[in-house]
Amino acid sequence: MIKNKKILIVGAGGFIGGHLVKRLLDDGNFVTTTDIKPKEFWFQDFEEAKNFYDTDMKDINNCRKVTQDIDYVFNMACNMGGMGFIENNKAECMQSVLINTNLLIACKEDKVEKYFFSSSACAYNKNKQQEVFIDGLKEHDAYPADPEDGYGWEKLFSERMCRHFMEDYGIQVRIARYHNIYGPYGTYDGGREKAPAALCRKVLKAKKNNDDKIEVWGDGKQTRTFLYIDDCIEGTLRLFESSYSEPVNIGSDEQVSINQMIEIIEKISNIKKLERIYQLDKPKGVRGRSSNNDLVKKVLKWSYNIKLKDGLQKTYDWIKQESSKKGSNLSKFTKS
């Protein structure tokens, strides 16, 4: 357990960042938080985090302001969303390389001890993801390089930058390749949401409106693995405290199709099977993506605990609660 450390979390107003802030505060650390969004749009807010900044970390001068007298840095910041966002905003996604690069420079100058970078399964070679229900992607499958255009290239480039700062300047780095993290306190509407939250919202809407149809991006046969947020945070902190410095998958190996996930959510909502309206012109991403967890089990002696059906139940219940609030400020959960 990390305890009594001075920690900077960049991207603290986001989904994973907000959950990480909560855990590190609960464990007794002194947390400084920053995000480009104004504070009212942060997904979670914590009074215990005394130092907070709503500032653009693509500017190296802003990085230098917040890395002073810091022990550890967690870089959770990037401009991203679900497939609908990253396929249509490649230049915006790529600019996140500035955050990572400038943060590393500031960390070198201020002699920060350890640095975490949140990478993504989008860094993997697309040619190895052309079929459904593929074998899990192993860490070496990122090369030869052909990642998701825009967002995936940003992640792969930033991984290499972390590696070279470790080699040249001695900064300890830890890199997690996240596989589709989901759960409460995340985006579920507005264009940046990912499949689990989007489908929970659509099923809830169909039930509320007594509708018998649901719109599905693609043919519904595309497959993924999804990791619940609590498992993500646990795996992240175990990796951070380990001595392993190469990229590691943090994900589930419970692979399902989009159609299968809809069936799980239908059972959760106690609604009859909805007619699928497949939207073949919508962004679909690769055909199949799954996490191979052999390495994370070996180096961390850890595996995920929460099954997809249980995580979807928690997510569904939270979205139902949020969407039913009178005068609910949905915009808080629709911004990255």
Q: Write the CA distances from 5 to 12, 24, 31, 69, 108, integer angstroms.
A: 17, 9, 8, 11, 18
Q: Phi/psi zone of residue 131: left (φ > 0), alpha (ψ -120 to 50 degrees), beta?
A: beta
Q: Write the CA distances from 100 to 157, 191, 316, integer angstroms.
A: 10, 25, 33
CA gap 214, 205 in Å, rounded: 9
Q: Which two tokens stand for residue 320?
A: 């139902």
Identify the helix (H) or strand (E) that includes residue 18. helix 15-26
Asked if 151 is an active-site residue, the reply is yes
Q: Which is nearest to 306 in space by CA: 260, 266, 252?
A: 252
Residues in contact with 181: Cβ distance below 8 Å, sequence separation at least 6, in sequence order:
15, 16, 226, 227, 228, 229, 232
Angle formed at CA 319 by CA 313 and CA 323, multiple of 5 degrees: 150
Active-site hit among 72, 115, 124, 151: 151
In the beta sheet, which residues pair with residue 10? Answer: 34, 75
Give the residue numbers annotated as catalytic, written as ranges: 151
